[in-house]
A and B are shown apart, each in its own frame.
Chain A
């Protein structure tokens, strides 16, 4: 790099790494001042078709440049590693900032935008610079079709497709949460800003199902301790936590609190687990005993305080499984689909993805509603194409490098 710096005066063609880095820094400074005076958040997000037109324009300009001025020094610099390395460095710089500064998702101007980099010029400029250099590199290397060029194109175009589809896709995405009561239908959802939006799909909740792990015991103080090994509360286990041994005397998966005790409430909705425990210290002496229970709609949480100021808690049970039997109505295809929506198994109809999202935490399996996340992301297929290209390209790179040995 050093030699190139010395050989020719700055800005004289052909440009090298130094010009590249100066362009990078210049772009960042420009982005900084733009953000200071006209924050990006003031501009509306470019939705379809404007965003698609911008992308196609960038790509067409690069192709035209290549066809009309194949010997253009500027294009050759853009397509070369001499702009690629500065552009990767600039992008790295902007995401490192994002990795260090907490991103709260809103804020503009300086310093506001530093906490909302994704919505600022400080992220957009590095990304666009990368799209341009990456795009030029692809346009430059697509032909002639050789194995090396194919691998190069797969890697670079794959990344280009992912970055650009991700960038423009973010403005066309519709996302909402829909809470549906049992046996009811919802055509409306709530978007990220809390506004109610009408959806072209509707969800009818037929049945919500959930299974839970046994609740875990925890010893809370200035530090939290958990049991040292696995146990089954039904078999009256003896559990070690920190320096204590907890003997479970009785465990009720569904319990109802009375004045002084808990009674078995199997089959009663909205009740939760409780356990009668006896606590021993390391010498085998009883420290205390009593009931502990988790919070539900009908019982307050009951903890067991210890003489040393700490307390034993029965933590809310963690979900093992939850899912909803639902009917999905779609206006576009006038379809009605019966389905089971589970975590990791969204239902898809007419470009909409419907996810199992949440439920009434305090009611657990007795939840009378289920909440769903619905997402429409028309650019998703392009993202997948980008993924596939990058995977093939990565494989090709490894194989080519391997064969060089």
Chain B
């Protein structure tokens, strides 16, 4: 059973990512090579694990919180490595890989193995694209927000890097839109309504409108760096509530989206 290998695989992946983070802050040509290959190998290893696990349990591994964390970990690492490759953004790489490692650590502590059960409503071709778009969107947007938070707290000024960080918000927002619309389209087939105002849906909509606000301020109030940076940090909280915090809210008593486990 593939799940039995999770802990050794996760520990190896975390180790390789930490090696990558270490060399990210060393100035040497060799270090650059090591950081890149170590990071990529780790993500590839995790990717292979996900695929093998998927085959093993014969259903998409996206049902439990623990399973979504593996995906986040994988996708956040991919996003931060690609952003690093494209823009040489060291902060995003460090934050991204540390965040990805934290997800895996949480999974080592709380594996929440759930087996092969998959309720009929989730057995849909739209399930995977819906969840993957959302997870990718969350990964991209969280990387952008975390990176803004990092620069505003460590440097006190956000001006220089904000434009670069904001570049991530647009693809992130497009993915968020895609995930939401795929979900709505699927919901019409599975539950009869494209939108049911379930607490998770309300928070997904709040997240969407929040980033919409951020985008409008970025485009039309270009000098308001501080306001934008603050909103980006608040946006991260909104995103976290949507993903993790719903079940702690008074409004969550009836939600079809609260993860198993």
Q: Which residues of A contact B (CB under 8 A)?
A: 1, 81, 84-85, 88-89, 91-92, 95-96, 98-103, 118, 166, 175, 213, 216, 227-230, 318-322, 342-346, 353, 355, 373, 375, 380, 383-384, 387, 390-391, 394-395, 397-398, 401, 405
Q: Which residue on chain B has the smallest CB distance to residue A374? A: B192
Report yes or no: A99 in contact with B249, Cβ–Cβ below 8 A.
yes
Report yes or no: B202 in contact with A98, Cβ–Cβ below 8 A.
yes
Extra A-B contacts (19), CB below 8 Å, given A321-B120, A387-B185, A401-B170: A92-B206, A92-B210, A98-B251, A100-B251, A101-B250, A102-B253, A213-B116, A228-B113, A229-B1, A229-B3, A229-B115, A343-B121, A343-B123, A344-B120, A344-B123, A375-B193, A390-B177, A395-B174, A397-B174
Report yes or no: B181 in contact with A230, Cβ–Cβ below 8 A.
no
Give A100 to B197 CA distance when docked, in angstroms: 12
Number of cross-chain contacts by CB at 8 Å: 121
Give A227 to B1 CA distance when docked, in angstroms: 15
Q: Which residues of B contact A (CB under 8 A)?
A: 1, 3, 113, 115-121, 123-124, 167, 170-171, 173-174, 177-178, 181, 184-185, 188-195, 197, 199, 202-203, 205-206, 209-210, 212-213, 216-217, 219-221, 224, 227, 241, 249-251, 253
Report yes or no: B220 in contact with A81, Cβ–Cβ below 8 A.
yes
Given A228-B113, A344-B189, verify A1-B177 contact (CB < 8 Å): no
State which of B124, B221, B249, B253 has its C-beta within 8 Å of the C-beta of A344.
B124
Give A375 to B251 CA distance when docked, in angstroms: 26
Report yes or no: A95 in contact with B205, Cβ–Cβ below 8 A.
yes
Report yes or no: A229 in contact with B249, Cβ–Cβ below 8 A.
no
Report yes or no: A102 in contact with B174, Cβ–Cβ below 8 A.
no
Report yes or no: B217 in contact with A85, Cβ–Cβ below 8 A.
yes
Q: Which residue on chain A has the smallest CB distance to residue B118? A: A320
For residue A319, give the distance in angstroms from its CB to the closest CB of chain B.
6
For residue B79, give the distance in angstroms from its CB to the closest CB of chain A.
14
Q: Which residues of B contact A228 (CB under 8 A)?
A: 113
Q: Which residue on chain B has the smallest CB distance to residue A230? A: B115
Given A99-B251, A391-B177, A401-B167, verify A319-B120 contact (CB < 8 Å): yes
Q: Which residues of A contact B206 (CB under 8 A)?
A: 92, 95-96, 99
Give A230 to B3 CA distance when docked, in angstroms: 10
